[in-house]
Chain A
Amino acid sequence: MSALGETLPVAGAARRPAGTFARMAKSPGVMFGGAVLALMLLIALLAPVLGTIAPSAINPAARNKTPGAEITMRASDGTQTARSAWMGTDSLGRDVYSRVIYGARVSLIVGVAAAAVSVAIGLFFGLVAGYVRWLDGAVMRVMDGVMAIPGILLAIALVSLWGAGLATVIVAVAVPEIPRVVRLVRSLVLSIREEPYVEAAVALGTPVPLILLRHVMPNTVAPLIVQATFICANSILVEAILSFLGIGIPPDIPTWGNIMAEGRALFRLFPHIIFFPGVFLSLTVLAINIVGDGLRDTLDPRMVKRI
């Protein structure tokens, strides 16, 4: 009974297992997190048209107004307009609402960019360390060295080395995260490289860089995405901390961190200056973490089987 000649029917039309997104959407936590994130993204994109004024405009006549206060603004041509500052104003008379809305831009940019930078660099070193065995020791000891320095301290050192600025902050926030990514990727590579399909690729004469690119890297993506969300959330926090300490983004660009930093002195009298950026910051970080958890649960194949 030869198998040749007859062709076997192949299982139904292209059918992927129940979509990752379909499964994720079922979780109420992920729905909430995703909605908050989408809202934050919209706010950041649409900042100029959300009834904001210039976030750095100083108004000496309307300093330290509590939320809901009516203020009068004088434009450069002398005309006056009345406006309700529903989040109040800070000690220089700047509109807290406008600052918080514009601050979302910096926070999201720093979060996403830091995650991208650390994942890209970490992925490269992780692949190399995991696959090229003789480089493993050297790469991992360097990473251990970086990990031995507390993340915030390292970020502070890097910022003071290169001076404040958006790019500097992104790099400073990303660098302490790199070793964690490298460790994750390396451990994944160590198990993936033992998979028969990788050995088959070796037997097919596929060069090492191509094996890494085609066979190893695509199979590290799922856990990496999860890790990236947590890095993103953490980076937003670290950026806020750096700004709060006054060594992050220069004070003329509003960020949630430096709005809070400026509100610190008068916290007891005017808590609203810290309260509003604080709420935005916590909500964003919480939302990212929830989405990350949801991704982890849905991308983990063991969870799929559990029905």
Chain B
Amino acid sequence: MADAPVLEIRNLGISLPVDAERKLAVEALNVAVGQREIVCLVGESGSGKSVTALAAMGLLPRGLKPVSGEILLQGEDVLKATPQRLRQLRCTRMSMIFQEPMTALNPVLTCGEQIDEVLRAHTQLDAAERRARVLAILRQVRIDDPERVIGAYPHQLSGGQRQRIVIAMALALEPVLVIADEPTTALDVTTQAQILTLIKDLQRQFGTGVLFITHDFGVVAEIAHRVAVMRHGQLVEYGPTEEVLKRPRADYTKMLIKAVPGMTPPARGEASSRPIVVSTTGLTKAYSEGGWLRKTRTISAARDVTLSVRRGETLGIVGESGAGKSTVARCIARLVDPSSGSVTLGGEDIARLSHVRLVPFRRKVQVIFQDPYRSLNPRRTVRQSLVEGPMNYGLPRDEALARAKGLLKLVGLDEAALDRYPHQFSGGQRQRICIARALAMEPELLIADEPVSALDVSVQAQVLDLIEDVRKRLDLAVLFITHDLRVAARVCDRVVVMRRGEVVEQGPTAELFRAPKQDYTRQLLAAAPGREWRFGETAAS
């Protein structure tokens, strides 16, 4: 990169409001993006990576103020630009791709109108020329049938198509810099792979500099030329991708890279001789819409799912969003009522039991949910949450409390946690509390529904370790639902792959990862970002 950088961030400092945890959101940050270069800003939540992006676009929220340094866009300091000047710069010289395409697009305007708006604001083209431009851009972002998409509203498109529209808007005026803030986080893994390829190709074609923000080292490995690792607003490590990923120097980077699970499943013990804890046969959940005067329409969220989980074994269900993974789990826990098929638990079919007769079975199946911020009642203390279940089943208060204390220790929390409220804990700590709450019931089957997808990668590793440990110690059957193949590879003995409500393939994890039988499984495995990097293993060895 001999030529002058497109974006140069020098000694940037951004202050947080007075009552925040730390003083500065970003501290003494130096990063540069050259022409035709993709620089990844990596970090866990709260590392200041998004704030940096917003500062570069001049979009900082009111509470945050730049206190030092400069952000030079082709030599012009963005921090000193007037609002009018910023408006001119946006789209023409720098533009942004957001995380969630559904909210980045205006739901009441057609996609064509939204791209057209960019052209109308910044060019003198007439209507026909603009339309030709819009069509050309849509073809460049590889939208099939651009004529139709021009007149479509955002909700009529899929997530991947929507993100393509956002990219089209960002690139409409061929800016020198594109800032992409987690642009693939909200997308499924196969769509993510397509979007990453698209961004890479377009970047090469237009010669744009890209500041790419992500928390995912797989994505970094896939796309970045250079990497900047941030922590607590400070730059921890900065260098070429190869260098940083293969030979990280900072301890923090080493820890982060080590925490990324590898794509090769570790060897595992055989569980096929153990007794089956829960099994489903032909499990189907269908929702019907309409009725009365309209035609009824039936949608199957899960169709004809047959699986079983043995004691001491972790069965993974993987698949993209809408595959029916959670529906199956919720049917087994009887949080929803299955439409047909059977769920056998302890020798009895519980699929159709009334809620009263279900009570003795509830204890045996416990669930850990995805979002640790919503799975604990904000108005109840940890103590109340932990003793609630056992007391429902007649355990005296002091015994329930003793059990709660023991479990807190087991999940690695201090006894002082008992009288605190959920908001006083971090995401990982809350997930530990949720695990303790589930274990308090002494269940036979633990259902973990995406238990780590809302957590940072380092915390994710700890929680996965905890679930593994608990399974071994208490000899539990675990049903583990995830969209992340790396996580599945790490914790599952067997894996069920689902797509559109149906089981595509199932088998032992190692076998399935090594030699997938179905096309869809192969696609999924191929789409995992950075699959040729052996993160977990290399760094550990």
Contacts and interface: CB of A to CB of B under 8 A. Distances in A.
Contact of A10 (B393, B411, B429): B429
B388 A206 contact: yes
Contact of A204 (B371, B392, B410, B425): B392
27 contacts: A1-B462, A1-B465, A2-B465, A3-B411, A3-B463, A3-B466, A6-B412, A7-B409, A7-B412, A8-B412, A10-B425, A11-B420, A11-B425, A14-B424, A195-B374, A196-B370, A196-B371, A199-B335, A200-B434, A202-B335, A203-B333, A204-B441, A205-B389, A205-B392, A214-B388, A218-B380, A219-B378
Interface string A250-270: 000000000000000000000
B63 A307 contact: yes
B231 interface: no
B366 A18 contact: no
Contact of A205 (B393, B416, B437): B393
A200 B369 contact: yes
Interface stretch (B142-150, B269-277, B357-365, B478-486): B357-365
Given A11-B426, A205-B363, A4 B375 contact: no
Interface in A198-254: 199-207, 214-215, 218-219
B538 interface: no
B158 interface: no
B414 A9 contact: yes
A26 interface: no
Per CB-CB distance, the 4 closest pairs between chain A and chain B, nearest first, are A204-B389, A196-B375, A196-B369, A307-B63
Contact of B412 (A4, A15, A18): A4
Given A1-B465, A11-B424, A15-B424, A219 B379 contact: yes
Contacts of B414: 7-10
A6 B465 CA distance: 13
A275 interface: no
Interface string A172-195: 000000000000000000000001
A200 B449 CA distance: 12
A17 interface: yes
A4 B469 contact: yes
B62 interface: yes
Contacts of B378: 219
B367 A203 contact: yes
Given A4-B469, A206-B388, A207-B392, 8 more contacts: A3-B462, A3-B469, A202-B362, A203-B335, A203-B367, A204-B392, A206-B389, A215-B380
Interface residues of A, number: 34
Given A14-B419, A14-B424, A215-B377, A205 B359 contact: yes
A215 to B, nearest CB: 5
A9 B19 CA distance: 22
B14 to A, nearest CB: 14
B413 interface: yes
Contact of B417 (A10, A203, A204, A307): A10
Contacts, number: 112
Contacts of A4: 410, 412, 466, 469
Contacts of A202: 335, 362
Contacts of B416: 10
Contacts of B374: 195-197
B376 interface: yes
A199 B19 contact: no
Given A4-B466, A14-B424, A199 B367 contact: yes
B282 interface: no
A200 B367 contact: yes
B151 interface: no
Contacts of A1: 461-462, 465
Contact of A3 (B371, B425, B465): B465
B17 interface: yes
Contacts of A206: 388-389, 392
A307 B388 CA distance: 35
A213 to B, nearest CB: 12
Nearest to B390: A204
Interface in A1-39: 1-12, 14-18
A2 B469 contact: yes
A206 B389 CA distance: 7
Interface string A145-174: 000000000000000000000000000000
Contacts of A307: 17, 61-63
A204 B388 contact: yes
Contacts of B375: 195-197, 200
Nearest to B415: A7
Contacts of B369: 196, 199-200
A204 B469 CA distance: 22
Contacts of A9: 414
A143 B409 CA distance: 50
Question: Which of A3, A14, A195, A219 is the most central at the interface, judged by chain B CB atoms within 10 Å of its CB?
Answer: A3
Given A3-B466, A10-B414, A214 B335 contact: no
A202 to B, nearest CB: 6
Question: Which of A2, A18, A307 is the most central at the interface, judged by chain B CB atoms within 10 Å of its CB?
Answer: A307
B423 interface: yes
A90 to B, nearest CB: 51
Contacts of B335: 199, 202-203
Contacts of B417: 10
Contacts of B437: 200, 204
Contacts of A7: 409, 412-414
Interface string B148-167: 00000000000000000000
B191 to A, nearest CB: 26
Contacts of B365: 203
A219 B377 CA distance: 9
B366 A203 contact: yes
Contacts of B410: 4
Question: Which of B362, B365, B461 is the most central at the interface, judged by chain A CB atoms within 10 Å of its CB?
Answer: B362
Contacts of B423: 17
Contacts of A8: 412-414, 429, 432
B362 A203 contact: yes
A207 B411 CA distance: 27
Given A204-B392, A205-B363, A197 B465 contact: no
Contacts of B376: 197, 200
A80 B495 CA distance: 99
Contacts of B363: 205
Nearest to A210: B392
Interface string B7-42: 000000000010100000000000000000000000
A122 B392 CA distance: 28
Contacts of B462: 1, 3
